[in-house]
Amino acid sequence: MNNKNNQHVVRLVLLLGLFSTLGPFTIDMYLPAFPEIVKQFDTTASLVQLSLTACLLGLGIGQLVMGSLSDVYGRRYPLLISMAVYVAASLACAFSPNIGLLIAFRFVQGFAASAGIVISRAIARDLYSGHELTKFFSMLLLVGNLGPLVAPVTGSGILSFTTWIGVFLALALLGIYLLTMTKWQLQETLPPDRRRPSNFVEQLRNYGSLLRDRQFVGYMLAQGIMIAGVFAYVSGTPFIYQNIYGASPTVFALLFGSNGISLIIGSQLVGRMAHRVSEQTFLLFGLWLACLASVAVLVVALVHGPLYALVIPLFFFVAAIGITSTAAFPLAMESQSRMAGSAAALLGVIPFLLGAVVSPLVGIAGEDTAVPLGVIILLTSAAAMLAYFFLVRKKSRGTA
């Protein structure tokens, strides 16, 4: 029986992890094609980065909508509709005649992809709680974090024999596969008696209730602001690595993908040590690690140090994201079993909305400097630390 249960858990982790990778694949696969898209549409780097911003906005706003819908209609039905829309949006991106339409369709693509992220996490909370949720979520991230590792390498491989259009056609195929998996492999985890009323006002009240929970907001901001710094990294490194340091698309993909390893290391460290070290301790450690790593990145950028000197602190910065995300999620979700979809949506939307704001700022000083990247990730790390101390630690001490 235990063996069967373990097999079931592994299959569920792989399936939900695959849905979690939809976000990273949607964001990262076309990154090596940024310079090519600039030439294709005879446009600027900032406008191409705006297509990433549009995708991030879609991923953020979509999670609010899909999280609420999954609390009302269950997990499977909203996921089915979203995967169908994702396929259509990916094809529309592939055949966009200008940068304006590409930006618009990227928003729709991100909106549809958001369902895979938020609903997979809501399903995890439907089934687990406490340290078991931490362990399951770390396994989910183990699969999901393969996305940042594999996506840019896959995109670079596709670009080696076709154009950026092939990247979006590949994403359409991925969407078709996930649509099929949703239809035939995913079981409903939210029975009708646990669903929320189908009432817009009630949904707003749910979000209002969550936002009045000081500790929940503290965990949400600590995690969300940190991840926003990663989106600055995602937006800036294609130009920093390739234009400033002269890396080829293949080398860029390998360097960028290596940080998927650091995400995995960070998340698995928390999952494997969950019964020995508290999630609170890991969260604080991750916040301090991010601050120190971001200071190092800024120093290297200011002196225009060698590429390896930039890559190493970025590796530790991204590892800190893996630690903080894995620790903050179960802490925030522990008391939200009745609103798991809405809570997961808020935890998901903040990183993407903030990421949409900060990602274009990386190119504000042009394509020949990495200083804005260093400044932005340092500011996000410090802001996340402040959110934790003022909203979580301060309330905990006051309660004690």
- How many whole angstroms separate alpha carbon 304 and alpha carbon 307? 9
| Structural domain boundaries enclosing 224 | 8-189+203-399
CA angle 358–236–241, rounded 5-degree value: 165
- Report the alpha-carbon distance of residue 363 to residue 356 in Å, rounded: 13
Window from 60-64, 184-188, 361-365 with minimum mean pLDDT: 361-365
Q: Is the pTM of this model over 0.85?
A: no
Average pLDDT across the chain, whole number: 85
Phi, psi of 41 (to 5 degrees): -100, 5
pLDDT at 221: 92
pLDDT digits (tens, 9 = 90+) for 163-188: 899 999 999 999 999 999 988 888 88
What band does 394 get if pLDDT is binned at 50, 70 and 90?
Answer: low
Q: Cβ distance 45 to 364 under 8 Å?
A: no
Q: Of the candidates 134, 55, 61, which has an alpha carbon nearest to the alpha carbon of residue 325?
A: 134
Q: How confident is the model at residue 3 (pLDDT cuts 50, 70, 90)?
A: low
Task: Report the number of distinct structural domains present in the chain.
Answer: 1
Per the CB < 8 A criterion, the answer to whether 61 and 111 are in contact is yes
For the chain, the residue count is 400
Residue 194 lies in a domain: no
Packing angle between helix 340-358 and helix 45-73, nearest 10 degrees?
Answer: 170
Cβ neighbourhood burial of 256 (10 Å; 0-12, 13-18, 19+): buried
* Cα distance between residue 218 and residue 20, in whole Å: 24
What is the token pair recorded at 288? Answer: 């301090």
* Predicted local distance difference test score (pLDDT) of residue 103: 95
Model confidence over 104-114: pLDDT tens digits?
A: 999 999 999 99
Residue 19 domain flag = yes
Residue 25: which residues within 8 A CB-CB, separation 6 or more?
147, 150, 151, 154, 171, 174
Instruction: Answer whether residue 1 is part of any domain.
Output: no
- Evaluate whether 124 touches 137 at the Cβ level (below 8 Å): yes
Looking up residue 309, the CATH number of its domain turns out to be: 1.20.1250.20
* Residue 27 located in a structural domain: yes
Span 299-357, pLDDT tens digits: 999 998 899 999 999 999 999 998 998 889 888 887 666 677 788 888 878 877 787 78
- Per-residue H/E/C for 312-330: HHHHHHHHHHHHHHHHHHH
Nearest CA to 354 out of 209, 204, 208, 226 is that of 226
Mean pLDDT of 61-70: 87
The per-residue pLDDT for 388 is: 93
Q: Which pLDDT value is given to residue 82?
A: 96
Q: Is the pLDDT of residue 81 over 90?
A: yes
pLDDT of residue 252: 80
Helix (H) or strand (E) holding 79: helix 76-94
pLDDT of residue 88: 97
- Residue found under tokens 């002196």: 303
Residue 3 resides in a domain? no
Residue 196 located in a structural domain: no
Please give the Cα distance from 360 to 49 (Å, whole number): 6
| Torsion angle, alpha carbons of 242, 245, 248, 254, to 10 | -90
